[in-house]
Structure 1
């Protein structure tokens, strides 16, 4: 396996673009080479097989979607953070679409499903812990429900955006936060 980290990253970014544009069936090592503009066979020097490439794409999507630390300054506000998530999703649309393709591919590949379950489970736990440690409103179950609701909003925004046109997304986010993470625990 080759060890040039810049080349590996470029190949993974090319793979994300191919996966988002062509779907799982279109993701081949040769297609990744073509997208990256490198000689045929380059990707096979970095990824032993397609399953290895898929797992590496999963981890690269995380690297590309992590919030900019500059966005996390000041007192945390759940609505603001979810708005920033939506903005990142729209800016990095191909990364999110590739992530959805990985989820679908995981239904057919048990090894990818196991990796995705570990990966997403760790992400969810880290997000819940961060939310609670930051002193934001809500409890563990509310944060998980908010995660699931936001995931649904993201999927619809990516795949059928016209469905959401009658509903201002900012208002939907505000309502999700208000109903799922009430300020007063008695609510």
Structure 2
């Protein structure tokens, strides 16, 4: 395997683009090479097979969607209440909106995981680790609510984000941030 981290990252980002725009069936090494504007055969020098490429794509999507400390650190100086939880949820929605392609690729990965047991196991571990980290963050930060609150909030936000990215006209009568505020008020107890 070739060891050029910048090229591997470029190929992985190209794979995310292909996955988001063409779906899992369109994700081929040839399509990744074309999207990255690299010679045919380049992707096969960096990834052993399609499963290896999908694993790298999953890791990269989570990196791209990770919180920015420059945003979260100032927020965490706020009182530990629903207002802060809503601000953190709006930040998640804003990051997903900015990297719509990355999140759509993640949705495609989730669908592909229904057909690929190894991918399903890997993606389940990754998402479980991420959810557990979010629960630990919430509890350690002394935000209102418990483990069940965070889990319920996770599933509500997941549904909202899917609707926002796939059927944006469904929220035409209200803003995304207003809907998030309503979700937080409904799910998160007062501190």
Query: Which TM-score tier does this pair reach, normalised by the shorter chain?
Result: over 0.9
Q: What is the aligned partner in structure 2 of residue 6 from structure 1? A: 6
* Count of aligned pairs between the two proteins: 184
Partners of 2:75 and 2:87 within 8 A in 1:
no
State the shift of 1:45 in Å.
Answer: 0.3
**Partner in structure 2 of residue 43 of structure 1:** 43
Counterpart residue number, 2:97? 90
Q: CA RMSD in A?
A: 0.9
What is the CA–CA distance in structure 2 between the aligned matches of 1:74 and 1:136, rounded to whole Å? 15
Q: Find out whether 1:124 has 2:143 as its counterpart.
A: no
Aligned to 1:139: 146
Structure 1 unaligned spans of 5+: none
**Residue 32 of structure 1: aligned partner:** 32
**How far 1:167 sits from its partner (Å)?**
2.6
Residues 1:134 and 1:46: Cα distance change in structure 2 (over 3 Å): same
Cα deviation, residue 2, structure 1:
1.1
Residue matched to 1:182 = 189
Q: Cα distance, 1:74 vs. partner?
A: 2.6
- C-alpha deviations, 1:124-164, integer Å up to 9, x for none? 00001001111111111011000000000000001001111
Structure 1 residues 67-89: Cα deviation after superposition (integer angstroms, max 9, x where no partner):
11101123431111111111111
2: CA distance between counterparts of 1:64 and 1:112? 19
Task: Work out the CA distance in 2 between the residues paired with 1:182 and 1:8.
Answer: 44
Could you list the structure 1 runs, at least 4 aligned residues long, displaced by more than 3 angstroms after superposition: none
